[in-house]
Structure 1
Amino acid sequence: MIGDLLSILLFCLACFAFWQQRRQSEIAKTRISRKCDELELQLLSVSFGQHKWKTPDNRWRWHTVYYFEFSALGDDCYQGHLVMQGFRPQAFHLPPHRML
């Protein structure tokens, strides 16, 4: 009886974590797309990077890194990344790229 209850609770917790990860992923894709539009860059792809415990400034915070590829002139490809804490973007990193 208690074992069944705990397994149902664990299953619900896993579903909730998956749902929250999907929500964060959609927000990250929207923010990356908006940033590329602002800078007049062509967004090529977005991918989930990894979860990390330490931020780039050596603080202990759970965060997620999303990688994306973009093109500045149409014949090149650069890789940037976005750091998300919860549902808020914390840092965009765009490498130096050619401009018109």
Structure 2
Amino acid sequence: MIADLLAILAVSFGCLLFWQQRRQAEIAKAAIARKCQQLELQLVSVALGSHKLKTPEGLWRFHTVYQFEFSSLGDDCYQGKLTMLGFKPVSFDLPPHRL
């Protein structure tokens, strides 16, 4: 009886984590699309980079890094990064690109 309850709770927790990850991915993609539109860049693709525990500043915070590809003139491709803390975009890292 207790084992069944724990199994149901574990599956429910796994579903919750998956649902929250999908929600975060949608928010990240929208933020990346807005940033590319502001800078007049063409968004090529968005991918989940990794989940990390330590920020580049040295703070212990669980965050997610999304990698994306963009083009400035249509014949080139650059890779950028977006760091998300929870559901909030924290920082964009865009390499120098042609205008």
- Regarding TM over 0.5, the answer is yes
Structure 1 counterpart of 2:68 = 68
**Shift of the alpha carbon at 1:76?**
0.4
Separation of aligned partners in 1, 2:93 and 2:41: 14
Structure 2 counterpart of 1:20 = 20
Separation of aligned partners in 2, 1:40 and 1:87: 24
Separation of aligned partners in 1, 2:15 and 2:75: 41
**Shift of the alpha carbon at 1:12?**
0.2
Structure 2 counterpart of 1:52 = 52
**Shift of the alpha carbon at 1:66?**
0.2
The root-mean-square deviation of aligned C-alpha atoms, in Å, is 0.3
Residue type matched to 2:7 in 1?
S
Separation of aligned partners in 1, 2:64 and 2:54: 10
**Shift of the alpha carbon at 1:20?**
0.1
- Percent identity between the aligned chains? 66
Matches within 5 A, 1:1-100: 1-99=1-99
Q: Give structure 1 regions of 4+ aligned residues with deviation exceeding 6 angstroms.
A: none
**Shift of the alpha carbon at 1:71?**
0.2
Separation of aligned partners in 1, 2:33 and 2:60: 28
Residue type matched to 1:30 in 2?
A
Gap regions ≥5 residues in structure 2: none
Aligned length: 99
Q: TM-score with structure 1 length normalisation?
A: 0.98
